[in-house]
Structures are given as structure tokens and as C-alpha cells.
Amino acid sequence: MSDQHKFLLDESRLPKAWYNINADLPVPPQPVLHPGTMQPVTPDFLAVLFPMSLIMQEVSPERWIEIPEPVRDIYKLWRPTPMYRAVRLEKALDTPAHIYYKYEGVSPVGSHKPNTAVAQAFFNKEAGTKALTTETGAGQWGSALAMACNFFGLDLEVYMVKVSYHQKPYRRIIMENFGASVYASPTDRTHYGRSVLEQDPNSPGSLGMAISEAVEVAATSGGAKKYSLGSVLGHVLMHQSVVGLEALDQMEMAGEYPDMVIGCAGGGSNFAGFTYPFLWKKFTEKKNIQVIAVEPASCPSMTKGEYTFDYGDTAAMAPIVKMYTLGHTFIPPGIHAGGLRYHGMAASVSALVNHGDIEARAVNQLETFDAAVQFSRSEGIIPAPESAHAIRVAIDEALKCKASGEKKVIAFNLSGHGHFDMTAYEQYLRGQLQDYAYPAEMVAEAMTHLPQVPAMG
Ligand SMILES: *Cc1c(COP(=O)(O)O)cnc(C)c1O
């Protein structure tokens, strides 16, 4: 074991290929269904939204997919990212556990999201796409894609959830700085947006609605625009594998191997990016490891949702996927400040939770911010509220070690910094945040709106 606190890789250690867990999944993948016919989707249907190269990645059985040089060149602006041992946090907790974290907040926009934004912009550019559409919640994804589109000379239209558009202007301005056009969703620019506004002119919007708008614009553009998603899809999770591949090397530098790896999960991309390379070691080399995905109690898809086929978006235009879901009609409670608001969960994460390889945990909002503040006071970094969900569980596990005397090695992904989330911190520090557990009755009600898919043989 090393007594270093900081584990840095030089540029030559930047991964040359992404890890594709399709090659090692212990359960066969479930088909992705067309939202209209409910039959397995054809590449033609997906080709309206995505370039063929990304569709092929989505279904590829290859374990390694080469990272194109132009993508690696841009990655080198901030990658490899550092990994730290949280020595000061260990001291503050008085735990015998060793706590490590991988820090993705050093990217230009402050989160892991550029890892896939840059790749998606590249493959679209290569396929001749001129413009992309996307949705964004708090703006992390929109700002990552805006930066990437700017690098590759693509236009970008962002449908930003209306409450965030008004309450979180700084990320919108970052997107505009990179040349993107940003609209408060629901908008009057789409059929779907107009139908929502007719029923509720004051709709605050949701991620599901914004996805529907961005998909509609691309699908009706006659091929001029493609659509890009920042989480949930297999190719997105795969692009994030650079995080965990670097972390494997960095744990080797530290001379330890984690007993558990932890990530927060909204759609599942930073969690999968960090943990799947460790699952690769488990599946192929029998290196046992506990893998924990953490979600908010107010948006508990894995811990309270059902594992079933559901639409990827609110308007039922996106493909139907087998996943843990709260129902595509889910609208997150207004008092929830911590992000991670998607109604479903990536198909492979869902399958691995269902199969028992990944453990899902839900944490409450107040204990999450409590962990965030404690972390910042020890380590100096103010975490994104999303990332704080992972910190909460890392601290809980370190405290269990304190009680039992076990010297476990705990590693988590710090997916981003919280510099644009100070309003949420302010609410927390002033005692204005409350806990809210999403009610089981609302999940049960939403399950009555699931697509009626034919039995799969
Ligand atoms: C978007 C985001 C998340 C949640 O998305 P995943 O796809 O689940 O990773 C988590 N952390 C940060 C900092 C984010 O920006």
C-alpha cells in the first residue's frame, strides 16, 4: 500500500478502448421495442435519431471498442482524471476503512458528461450530421454537449426543463456561450410541448417531457437533425467506462483493490462508467466486489419501481425498454434538490440489479447534503448534489467499519463539482430542505399506464 494521497496517470495511460459490458453480461439483453408497434426496433427506426455508428455500439457484442484519436485528443484536455485517497475524511470519521474517490469534476464543465458528449458529437460529425437536439435538466448534460458540438462544428438545440431554465441560469449561459440555442421546455415549438401547455400552461416541465420534445424535433426534421441522450443508453454507459478503466490503474498504483465500489445513479451512466470495469474483473477474473448504486428516496426507480417494459420518455415516442421504472408519467417532487430525476434506469444496470450483481440503495435528501458538507469540510471539494448520494453511502459504510473494526477499501465516483448548485446548498444550510419519500401508491398508479407489450418468448 502506498502512502500517497493523490494518484495521477500521465496522458499515455488514457484508455485506448472503451469497455462494453455487453460482452460479459450474465443475463441475455432484453429487446428494445418500437413505441408504436411494440415489436423489437429495427436499426432503421433508430437511424432517424442516431448515426449508425452509435446504433452499432449499442448492440455490439465486442468487449473493447476503440476510442477514435480525435476523441482521445479532446479527452486529453482533462483526462486522465485524478483519484484521491480521502485521508482527511477517514480521520474525521475515525474509521479504519480506506476511502478513495475518482474525481470527474475536473472536466471543463465540471462533470463526467463530456466523456460521452465528445464521443457522440464526433460520431455524428463523422456521419455528416449538421445539428443535434437534446434535453437537459439542471444543465450539466446540455453544457457538456454544447462544448462538444462547438469543438466539432455542430449546431445544437437544447430543451431545458422549465423550472431549471429559470432557477439555474448559469448553466444555460454556459450552453449559450458555446453557441447552443436553449429553450424552456415545455415549449410551443413542438406538437407535444403545445399539448402539455394546453392542459397546464404553468407546467414546470420534466426530463421525460424535454426528451419528448427533443426527440420530436429530430424525428420530424427530415434527417437534418439527430438526437443525443446524455445517459441511460448502452453506448453512453460504454463511453463513460474510461472513468473506471483509469480507476483500475489508479487502485493498482495505490496498491489496494476496493472491497466495494459506489456510484450515484440517475440514468446510470457515471455509476456504470466507474463500476463496470470492476465488474469486468469480477466476471472474467472472479475478483469479488460489492457494487452499490445510490438513488434519491424521492426518485427511487431501482428500490421502489418495477422491473418491466416502459417508455423512455413521457410522450411515449421513445423506444420501450425493460428497466426499473417509476412509470414514464413520473414528475419529480418540487422539493427535491439533488438531481437524479429520470423515471427509469439504464437497461444493463437494471438487469444487473435484478440479477443480484449490483445492490441498489435509496438515501434521503437531508442526509445526502449532510454528507456533502462533511466531505467538503474534509476534502475541500464541494460535490455536485448528485455525487453526494454516493458520498452518503461511502460514509455510511466507513462508519460501519468503525463499529466493526473492519479495514475495508471503499471507492466511489465523485461525478462532478457543485459550483452551480449553490442554491440547493443555501436551502440546505438555511434549514429549508425536507425529506420526501416517493409514495408507493403513486408508483402503483403509474404502473397502470405501462405499455401493453406482447409476451416475450
Ligand atoms: C448528470 C449527472 C449525474 C446523473 O447522471 P448519470 O447518467 O446517472 O450519471 C450524476 N452526477 C453528475 C455530476 C451529473 O452531472
**264 Cα to the center of ligand 1, angstroms:** 7
**148 Cα to the center of ligand 1, angstroms:** 17
Domains observed in the chain:
6-14+80-110+240-447 (3.40.50.1100), 17-66+113-234 (3.40.50.1100)
pLDDT in tens, 148-206: 999 999 999 999 999 889 988 999 999 999 999 999 999 999 999 999 999 999 999 98
**2 Cα to the center of ligand 1, angstroms:** 30
- In this prediction, residues 246-260 reach a mean pLDDT of 98
- In this prediction, residues 124-151 reach a mean pLDDT of 97
pLDDT for residue 336 is more than 80? no
- In this prediction, residues 333-341 reach a mean pLDDT of 75
Mean of the per-residue pLDDT values of the chain: 95
Best mutation site among 140, 170, 301, 349 for ligand 1, i.e. most ligand atoms within 8 A of its Cβ?
Answer: 140
Q: How confident is the model at residue 37 (pLDDT cuts 50, 70, 90)?
A: very high
pLDDT for residue 83 is more than 90? yes
- In this prediction, residues 110-117 reach a mean pLDDT of 98
Q: Which residues, other chains included, contact 125 with Cβ-Cβ below 8 Å and sequence gap of 6+?
A: 152, 153, 154
**266 Cα to the center of ligand 1, angstroms:** 6
pLDDT in tens, 367-390: 999 999 999 999 999 999 999 999
Q: How confident is the model at residue 456 (pLDDT cuts 50, 70, 90)?
A: low
Kindly report the protein residue whose alpha carbon is nearest to atom 9 of ligand 1. 270
- Nearest atom in ligand 1 to the alpha carbon of residue 269 is 7
Q: Name the 3-class secondary structure at 324.
A: strand
Best mutation site among 171, 269, 353, 363 for ligand 1, i.e. most ligand atoms within 8 A of its Cβ?
Answer: 269
387 lines ligand 1 (CB under 6 A): yes
Instruction: Supply the pLDDT for residue 135.
Output: 95
The pairing of strands 409-414 and 260-264 is parallel
| 170-175 contacts at long range (C-beta below 8 A, 24 or more positions apart) | 170/139, 170/420, 171/136, 171/138, 171/139, 171/140, 171/142, 171/143, 171/420, 172/139, 172/142, 174/109, 174/139, 174/143, 174/146, 175/136, 175/139, 175/142, 175/143, 175/146
List the one residue out of 312, 373, 315, 316 whose CA is nearest residue 345.
Answer: 312
How far is residue 117's CA from residue 228's CA, in Å, rounded to a whole number?
8
Best mutation site among 340, 341, 391, 392 for ligand 1, i.e. most ligand atoms within 8 A of its Cβ?
Answer: 340
- The pTM of the full predicted model, rounded to 2 decimals, is 0.97
pLDDT for residue 352 is more than 80? yes
Nine-digit cell at 419? 459550483
Best mutation site among 81, 102, 111 for ligand 1, i.e. most ligand atoms within 8 A of its Cβ?
Answer: 111
pLDDT in tens, 59-81: 999 999 999 999 999 999 999 99
Q: How confident is the model at residue 29 (pLDDT cuts 50, 70, 90)?
A: confident
User: Taking the alpha carbons of 186, 189, 194, 197 in that order, is the dihedral positive or negative?
Assistant: positive
In this structure, the number of other CB atoms found within 10 A of the CB of residue 107 comes to 23
340 lines ligand 1 (CB under 6 A): yes
Lowest mean pLDDT among 115-119, 399-403, 421-425, 453-457: 453-457
